[in-house]
Amino acid sequence: MKDMEKKIVYELEAYTIDLAKIDEGESIAFNFMLDDAFFSALEQTEIESGSVKAQLNVSKKSSTYEFVFDFNGFVQVPCDRCLAEVNYPVEAYNELFVKLGEKTEEVDDDLIFVSGEERKLNVAWLMYEYISLSLPIMRSHEEGECDEQMLILLDQHNAENVADDEEQLDPRWNELRKILDNN
């Protein structure tokens, strides 16, 4: 009998907010648990896994929808020094304003127009971006916690590169260096 692998499709439609269902002056809360399946479904390489509680409050005031995101949890990202996974806490708060327009487009960081015909906004990628932007630029373990074997390999590799570069120098440069050294 042949084993067949079944691929589980993670449904990102669960993160679609139907603006037509939100009345003037009404506020609706959405709670999401962003786990490993969520991060892998987005087909990105920045965040490997995590567990982030996301609370989204959507309210309608006049012709504008206000989206307030609140994130708490942790994510695992590759260490910039040794490439092993490192946990980073996530605590972020973001606001976004959404208006209805002719077509769906992001006007700036905190304003999106959604097609008046569609009246739906999928917030999955927005939540990923907010989480990603809350992380530091340099993502690494604390000093002394990196994978020692990887650091040794990197050191060896870098030392070989330096030696190779010096061997490949054109000997004509040596004459120029003598002139510089004499001055």
Verify that 43 and 123 share a domain, yes or no: yes
Verify that 177 and 110 share a domain, yes or no: no
Q: Residue 48: its pLDDT value, please?
A: 86
For residue 2, being part of any structural domain is answered with no
Q: Residue 183: its pLDDT value, please?
A: 61
List the chain residues with pLDDT less than 70: 1-10, 159-169, 183
Q: Residue 131: its pLDDT value, please?
A: 97
Among candidate residues 31, 111, 37, the one with its CA nearest the CA of residue 71: 31
Domain that holds residue 159: 148-182
Domain count, the chain: 2
Residues 32, 127 contacting (CB under 8 angstroms): yes
Verify that 127 and 156 share a domain, yes or no: no
Verify that 108 and 162 share a domain, yes or no: no
For residue 143, being part of any structural domain is answered with no
Q: Residue 162: its pLDDT value, please?
A: 53
For residue 3, being part of any structural domain is answered with no
- Model-level pTM? 0.77
10 Å Cβ neighbour count for 61? Answer: 12
**Burial state string for 151-164 with b = 16 or more CB within 10 A and e = fewer than 16:** eeeeeeeeeeeeee
For residue 1, being part of any structural domain is answered with no
Rounded to whole angstroms, how far apart are CA atoms 131 and 108?
Answer: 18
Q: Residue 12: its pLDDT value, please?
A: 85
